Amino acid sequence: MPEHEEKTWIYVVQLDIPEEHEDTFNRLYDEDHVPALLAVPGVRSCKRYRLAWADSERMARYLTIYEVDDPEVPKSAAWRTASMSGEWPHLVRPHLTTRLHGMFHELAVGERTWP
């Protein structure tokens, strides 16, 4: 079994967009973009977050974490097709001011137990 099949993989996306496009961004992300990507084989889940605070002004305001079966899923033809579907590529992507992507694999799990 290849090494990557034994690990948990997360694909992290950090995005920022001017405030005047934020409503369209959030609506299309939730109603259009994420459902299309969740239909891609190998995508297990998706969680979106909005920044509460940061120690740097360079931190993007939006974070999305996709759990995937394999680190190559976001490079697949199915992912590319899904990411280009709907209104997202035309109404949102041109306005993004920060667009960072990264693949991470799990190193360790720590859990806090309560008495």
pLDDT in tens, 41-98: 999 999 999 999 999 999 999 999 999 999 999 999 999 999 999 999 999 999 999 9
Q: Is the pTM of this model over 0.85?
A: yes
* Whole-angstrom distance, CA of residue 90 vs CA of residue 8: 32
| Structural domain count of the chain | 1
Whether residue 114 is contained in a domain is answered as: no
Q: What is the CATH number of the domain that holds 30?
A: 3.30.70.100
Whether residue 115 is contained in a domain is answered as: no
71 burial via Cβ count (<10 Å: 0-12, 13-18, 19+): middle
Q: Whole domain around residue 57: which residue ranges? A: 3-105
